[in-house]
Amino acid sequence: MDSTTLIAICSIFTAGFTISIGCMCPALGEGRSVATALSSLAQQPDASATITRTLFVGLAMIESLAIYCFVVAMILIFANPFWNHVIAHATGK
């Protein structure tokens, strides 16, 4: 197996692992935060505006983690920085 194949295998595996963990953990965090917010709304309905505003800000921050993981996976698959290094050594430049 040459170095190009090895880099391709490692990149695809790492991208898949990044997406799997990067989607699973934020999904669990979002579910837990929504459940806690609903529980808080049931206990204090007068504070609904503050709770929902804080909930949406928190959900946006949690979702940004999944988006960052997606971006890293796309970089590993389509714009891998190691490819230029391997191609330069393969051509002898």
Is residue 51 domain-resident? Answer: yes
Residue numbers of the domain that contains 32:
3-88
Kindly state whether residue 93 falls inside one of the protein's structural domains.
no
Helices (H), 1-92: 3-43, 48-78, 81-91
Q: Could you give the CA distance from residue 39 to residue 51 in angstroms, rounded to a whole number?
A: 11
How many angstroms separate the Cα of 64 from the Cα of each of 5, 38, 48, 69, 78? Answer: 32, 22, 24, 9, 21
- Residue 39 within a domain: yes
The whole-angstrom separation of Cα 83 and Cα 90 is 10
Question: What are the tens digits of pLDDT across the range 51-92?
Answer: 999 999 999 999 999 999 999 999 988 888 887 777 777 777
Tens digits of residue pLDDT in 12-44:
999 999 999 999 999 999 999 999 999 999 999
CATH number, domain of 54, equals 1.20.20.10
Q: What is the pTM of this model?
A: 0.77
Q: Is residue 17 domain-resident?
A: yes
Total domain count, the chain: 1
